A and B are shown apart, each in its own frame.
Chain A
Amino acid sequence: MRITCTVNGQTHQADDVWEGESLLYLLRERLGLPGSKNACEQGECGSCTVFMDDETVCACLVAAGQAEGREIRTIEGLSEGDRLHPIQQAFVETGAVQCGFCTPGLLIQVADLLRNNANPTDLEIREALAGNLCRCTGYEQIIEAVRLAAARIHPTGEFAR
């Protein structure tokens, strides 16, 4: 089948897509966007997290066909040009990235969190990131990164909608 969808603001089309293919496969292998990761392909790790329209989804659990006509945003579309998004910057600065395989999914999930909650408590951060596995960091510096990013994006603690 043919799939047409918007990814990071650009319209993409893929031909000869199998019914069984996931959105993750579509992104990684057909559209040349391997930033979203494939750690489990079972919906358990969050490394493939992307925005579909306004919601975060595990791209490995979404059939490629379900992306037809939708708007997808991946890690490749998070920074504005050459400038890192404040969340990306905070991850680099706090040591929240080791192997980095969990990082793309986490960054999307954190972007979603901070969009809805300008000044999350540690418990809220943990709850929001509970679906994203990281095997390297012990999460401590990831939580630090989220606090830092939140403080920079909304210095007053208020989210400007």
Chain B
Amino acid sequence: MTTTQTITHTGRIGDSAQRPDGTLKVTGQFAYSSDLWMDGMLWGATLRSPHPSARIRSVDIGPALAVPGVHAVLTKDDVPGLNAYGLDHADQPVLAADVVRYQGEPVALVAADHPETARLAAERIVVDYEPLPPVTDAMLAVGHISWDTPGQTGVPRVHPEGNLVRHVKIRKGDPDPQADVVITGEYEVGMQDQAFLGPESGLAVPAEDGGVDLYVATQWLHVDQRQICIALGLGPEKVRLTLAGVGGAFGGREDLSMHVHACLLALHTGKPVKIVYNRTESFLGHVHRHPARMRYQHGVLRDGTIVYVRASIYLDGGAYTSSTPAVVANAGTMGIGPYDVPNVRVDCYGAFTNNPPCGAMRGFGTVQAAFAYEAQLDRIAAELGLDPVDIRCRNAMREGSRMTTGQLVDSAAPVDELLRRVQALPLPPPVDPTQLDLREQPGGVSNTTHGEGVRRGVGYAVAFKNVGFSEGFDDYSTARVRLEVVGGEPVVTVHTAAAEVGQGLTTVIQQIVRTELGVENVVLAPADTQIGNGGSTSASRQTYVTGGAVKAACELVRGEVFDIAQTCYGRAVRDLHLVDGKVISPAEGGIGSLADLLIGTPVERTIEWRHRPTYPLDPETGRADAHVQYAFAAHRAVVDVDTELGLVKVVALDCVQDVGKAINPQAVRGQIYGGALQGLGLALMEEIVTTDGIVRNASFTDYLIPTVLDAPPMQVEILEYADPHAPYGLRGVGEPPTISAGPAILAALRNATGLPLTRIPVRPEHLIGSVGR
């Protein structure tokens, strides 16, 4: 678990270098968090609340303790530290105390010698609940009887301080602007799940010093460590985390899941304890994308110029805070899309309810808004008889525009170019639907149509997303870079705590080192808490921030090597370079080889690297330089719709994205393909369905994610307009395609059917017009 990997694949910035973990992953040798195993380890299981809201009258663990093979049964009384955790605000109990606030809330833990024994024993725990009526409507929860209208809703408080997590107000320009045409629409977004394939899991190992070592799949080791320490009542030197193999994340691993539970059981039993969620537990055990209800009003001139936007956005945060405050800020500040609009009023609310807790998911607040604002743009185009791409280009944000927050957009914002380019990509050839292979029909081999009633539609959407953490957050990463000579060959070792979750950060780090230090052999030390904070693998930020830290550390190492080289050379030499293990100067040739210069003396530098500062939003107007950087993508979708059955086949989903600098073009494409397909999922099929706070479909049988049959061919074009503020000019990549793909599909569906389609995911009944949407 603590071995390092030696890397032989080469590749520098701009190359499609191969993953350092690729061979391990294709041979089944890569150790994911669910694969960990230790002699004598126990298995942990979690008892969860069946009720979305209830008082706990009593808990009887006796019957569970009596099960042979059980080593421990723990409840809230066994939490030694503070029984609360949370990313933003510690309001979520490690184990429920007097109340439960959502279905699936952990109540008790069991450790046993077999996972089934642990699960069976957990079921034997007797909890006496007094069920309470759940709060399930976000608008009513915050005390609004209708859009932005406070009134008596009579809704109980989920937390003593009330149900409003945050209200972000954006006020820009004239509060009472005049327009020729006013378009108003109401929209709804269902609750999406990250559905990473690797279940929540990890192994906690008690240590002789009374501490614990936790091997876990996560997005952010140090924020986990902080929360675990508080819950265990231990200092950070006693709680050591190491990243285990991560089977995808997409936001769903930013919050704790089994972390504290496994540590509690390990410390209590004195044995290593492994916890692995099954799929149902995974659906209940992590935060989801916030469902949203939104009302938008656009005032426009006859030529299509947008004069004003007013928006009200209600995001259901579920039972606990998680990252809702930041999601609300994103939906608020980016709520009108990448458009230049002089007069804006946005109110965005985050609510507590007894629905499943919601937090981070790829796109983080912008996905919901994009569905609404892009639908509005298409309606405006239709109303005015304008082309949907033209109207977007007419209002497009560009470099030099001001955000709704007043922030200057001070690097490339090629919104119109992205749209024009995606429009210019070749379309799939028009077909006679009755001539298509069955597998290419909506409904596929279910044999629901041979082309009768099938109509094709084309739609466009463009979106943007902030990169990095915003609103004054101290967002940094730590990197240690060591250059040494081993066996006559230069080797670089890089240590960070940044989480590789599949996206390819480890590949990018190697590329940066090879580029900066001219050394091929780059070893990555395991990500752990022995080094400083690497920040979160989220907000499309790791290549920017941890990449920036590694680059900066390399520059310090290089400077030191040049000093050594000049000392050995006997005098100062200008314009030195480090190439293929040698220090050279164009004027004087070779100055020395690393093998000679560094005998026995490694050069090592550790650095904390920060992007430029951001600032908090003004609470009344939202004015602030709140974000670090913006990233843009445009999509065009082509769909075939069976208008009789409401089934959809996405025929093409093409994307143009500006990435500033494609550090690894193959990995960039992978992010765009994968991100777009998650957008397709939300548009067409993915929804956690709840009734009165109870999840109805916590399995892959009932919660559908796109298969390869749902995935369309995707053309991708990558633009590289450097951002002068960012390392190598790069922009975050992972999120924009998830934001623009879904709205483009919806636009195409509207184009095919003529229906307004104001809710996602779209259901067949919406597409045959039998439901008024």
Contacts and interface: CB of A to CB of B under 8 A. Distances in A.
Interface string B664-705: 001101101111111000000000000000000001110001
Nearest to B194: A135
Interface in A79-133: 79, 84, 88-89, 91-95, 97-104, 107, 122-123, 125-127, 129-133
B345 to A, nearest CB: 37
Most chain A CB within a 10 A radius of its CB, from B502, B676, B701, B705: B502
A18 B714 CA distance: 47
Interface stretch (B23-31, B95-103, B633-641): B23-31
- On chain B, which size bracket covers the interface? 35 or more
Contact of A100 (B25, B34, B672, B705): B25
B673 A138 contact: yes
Interface string A131-158: 1111111111111000000000000000
A35 B198 contact: no
Contacts of A68: none
Contacts of B672: 138
A55 interface: no
B424 interface: no
Interface residues of A, number: 60
A141 B667 CA distance: 10
Contacts of A136: 248, 502, 670, 674
A115 B248 CA distance: 30
A101 B699 contact: no
B114 A75 contact: no
B192 to A, nearest CB: 12
B741 to A, nearest CB: 10
A76 interface: yes
Contacts of A41: 278-279
A125 B699 CA distance: 26
Nearest to A16: B114
Nearest to A93: B18
Contact of B198 (A101, A138, A142): A101
A99 B501 contact: yes
A34 to B, nearest CB: 4
A38 interface: yes
A101 B502 CA distance: 9
B28 A104 contact: yes
A56 interface: no
Contacts of B31: 34
B247 A141 contact: no
Contact of A18 (B25, B114, B674, B701): B114
A23 interface: no
Contacts of B29: 35, 76
A39 interface: yes
A3 interface: no
Given A39-B279, A127-B709, A99 B18 contact: no
B709 A126 contact: yes
B502 A98 contact: yes
B248 A101 contact: yes
B707 A98 contact: no
A40 interface: yes
Contacts of B247: 37, 39, 99-101
Contact of B197 (A34, A91, A92, A135): A135
Contact of A101 (B32, B666, B669): B32
Contacts of A20: 116
B700 A133 contact: yes
A150 B220 CA distance: 39
B199 to A, nearest CB: 7
A139 B28 contact: no
A130 B708 contact: yes
Interface in B192-211: 194-199
Contacts of A98: 248, 502-504, 670, 674
Contacts of A89: 26
17 contacts: A40-B700, A45-B700, A79-B27, A95-B670, A99-B246, A99-B249, A101-B196, A101-B247, A107-B26, A132-B708, A134-B197, A135-B194, A136-B670, A138-B711, A140-B673, A140-B714, A143-B708
**8 smallest A-B Cβ distances: which pairs?**
A35-B28, A99-B502, A138-B673, A100-B25, A101-B247, A75-B28, A44-B700, A34-B35
